[in-house]
Amino acid sequence: MAGARFAELCVVLACFFGGGLAAPSFTSEPGNVTVEVGGTARLEWQLNDDGASQLFELWRKLPSAGLIQRQAGQEAAPFPGYEGKFEIEGVATLKILNVEKADAGGYEFQASYDDGTSLNSGATLIVNYQPTITGMSASPDPNVKEGDDLTLTCAADGVPAPNFSWSRSDGGPLGAAVADAAAGTLTFTNISRTATGAYTCTADNGVGVAPTQDIAVAVSYPTTPAPTTPTPNVTMKITDAPTPAPSAEPEPTGGMETSDKPGEKGRGAKPQKGGLGSGAIVGIVLGLLALFLTIGVGAYCASKRFGPQPNKKPDVVTFNKVEETEAEPLKNKDPENPPEKTEDKDNNKDASIIKNGEMEEVPLKNAEEA
Ligand SMILES: *[C@@H]1O[C@H](CO)[C@@H](O)[C@H](O)[C@H]1NC(C)=O
Ligand SMILES: *[C@@H]1O[C@H](CO)[C@@H](O)[C@H](O)[C@H]1NC(C)=O
Ligand SMILES: *[C@@H]1O[C@H](CO)[C@@H](O)[C@H](O)[C@H]1NC(C)=O
Ligand SMILES: *[C@@H]1O[C@H](CO)[C@@H](O)[C@H](O)[C@H]1NC(C)=O
């Protein structure tokens, strides 16, 4: 009796102080388990019973749903609706068949023993699946003006989170556009008209086939640059060139042709050259010269007659006229103020017109004195 009681006491003391002597525990836990959708996942727990007997085991999907359970000495039994979905392998491995996205999440394993021990351990199932592009957008708008900023965004659902890449659908370069692989954005700053076109987003996470999708961008720009092209200037030169050619002498016409090397010389100068003979042109020129001469002489004569009336003319012009026409006024003035002029010889220098008269006064006085 005493020996048996001592043994019982030892067990109790061991529970208090030693612990490790007779306590079931996990030797391995699953932690995070990753599987691709459609595959089979295994959440593997390893235990050391340490001499105790298992009474009951339960596998749950957190937060609460029981998946499968096992009574000591019996086969594991899935809960209703989970047959063929969950199985138990080995000591305590939960096998999940035909994994779906919805299977991702937290799991828990519980075990109870006849010594009163109750164990539980959690695990996380990560289900990878191919990306699906869920949307593409352009901010502020896919139709922008040249010089604006534009951001294309590609959104996708997939595990792990996909990397995004961009390309031009026509295979051209992206230019200055900046792509963010994680955010799925393609940013244009001060966008150019050459950015017009379709852009392809690819979402790749290494699972399955990376999907692609296009978005179109249209960059508008002012159409004013077109009229400012040098074309108008060229046409102006062409139209100006032939005009002086016919009115001028024949020789310059040939010079114009060589300067206008492009095909214009064929249609512009040659037909006109054939229409007017060089003799005819010379005749016309001579006739014009004669006409101008006649008009010029007539005009000169007319100006000579009516010339004296205006007093604005310079000294030289009036000098010749003074000899003939102003000789009389001078004689008329002389009788009126003969003494003044003789006295004011020096004062006469002030006026230019009178200056001429002074030169004539000398011979007049001489004549009077004589
Ligand atoms: C499981 O994954 C989560 C999130 O990725 C991480 O924080 C945690 O440390 C992982 N746990 C283990 C046991 O690896
Ligand atoms: C935008 O681009 C045009 C053409 O390349 C350039 O002339 C202009 O200076 C740029 N504007 C800014 C603010 O960078
Ligand atoms: C995304 O790209 C980075 C850098 O290349 C790479 O380390 C990472 O594994 C990629 N992620 C996926 C899901 O492919
Ligand atoms: C074309 O005409 C414009 C406006 O008159 C002028 O500014 C420009 O210099 C001309 N260009 C040439 C090549 O003559």
| Mean pLDDT in order along the chain per 10 residues (370 residues) | 48 46 86 96 94 92 92 92 93 95 96 93 97 96 94 96 95 91 96 94 96 95 69 56 50 43 42 53 72 70 54 46 45 47 44 43 45
- Interval 210-242: pLDDT, tens: 999 999 999 999 887 565 666 656 555 555 555
Contact (CB, 8 A) for 50 and 24? yes
Burial class of 155 by CB neighbour count within 10 A (0 to 12, 13 to 18, 19+): middle
Side-chain-side CA neighbours of 351 within 13 Å: the count stands at 8
| Amino acid at the residue 24 | P
Looking at the domain covering 140-220, what would its CATH class be?
A: mainly beta
Residue whose CA lies nearest to ligand 2 atom number 13: 190
Ligand 3 atom closest to Cα of residue 161: 13
CA nearest ligand 1 atom 4, residue:
32
What pLDDT sits at residue 123?
A: 97
119/325 Cα distance (integer angstroms): 147
* pLDDT for residue 290: 73
Q: Which residues contact 304 (CB under 8 A, 6 or more apart)?
A: none
- Could you tell me the distance, in angstroms and rounded to a whole number, from the CA of residue 32 to the centre of ligand 1? 6
Residue 36: exposure state from Cβ atoms within 10 A (0-12, 13-18, ≥19): middle
Other CB atoms within 10 Å distance of the CB of residue 109: 23
Q: Ligand 4: which of 228, 233, 235 to mutate, most ligand atoms within 8 Å of CB?
A: 233
Centre of ligand 3 from the C-alpha of residue 202, in Å: 13
Cα distance between residue 132 and residue 66, in whole Å = 32
Quote the pLDDT of residue 256: 43
What is the CB neighbour count within 10 angstroms for residue 288? Answer: 10
CATH 2.60.40.10 domain range(s) in the chain: 20-128, 140-220
pTM of the model: 0.56
| pLDDT at res. 26 | 95
Alpha-carbon gap, residue 214 to 199, rounded angstroms: 5
Residue 30, pLDDT score: 96
Question: 51's torsion region: left (phi>0), alpha (psi -120 to 50) or beta?
Answer: left
What superfamily would CATH give domain 20-128? Immunoglobulins (2.60.40.10)
**Measured from the CA of 147, which atom of ligand 2 is nearest?**
1
Separation of alpha carbons 100 and 113, rounded Å: 33
Could you tell me the distance, in angstroms and rounded to a whole number, from the CA of residue 147 to the centre of ligand 2?
7
Looking at the chain, list the stretches that DSSP marks H as alpha helix, in order from N- to C-terminal side: 2-13, 231-240, 244-247, 250-259, 264-275, 278-306, 315-324, 327-336, 338-343, 352-369
Give residue 33 CA to ligand 1 midpoint distance, Å: 9
For ligand 3, which residues put their CB under 6 angstroms from it? 160, 162-163, 181, 204-206
Q: Closest-lying ligand to the alpha carbon of 236?
A: 4
> Among 34, 130, 163, which is best to mutate for testing ligand 3, by the most ligand atoms less than 8 A from CB?
163
Pairwise CA distance, residues 97 & 362, whole Å:
144
Selection from 207, 208, 195, 68 nearest residue 144 by Cα: 195
CA pair distance 52, 41, nearest whole angstrom: 29
Long-range contacts of 262-269 (CB under 8 A, 24+ apart): 264/238, 268/238, 268/241, 268/242, 269/242, 269/245
**Ligand 2 contact via 190 beta carbon (within 6 Å):** yes
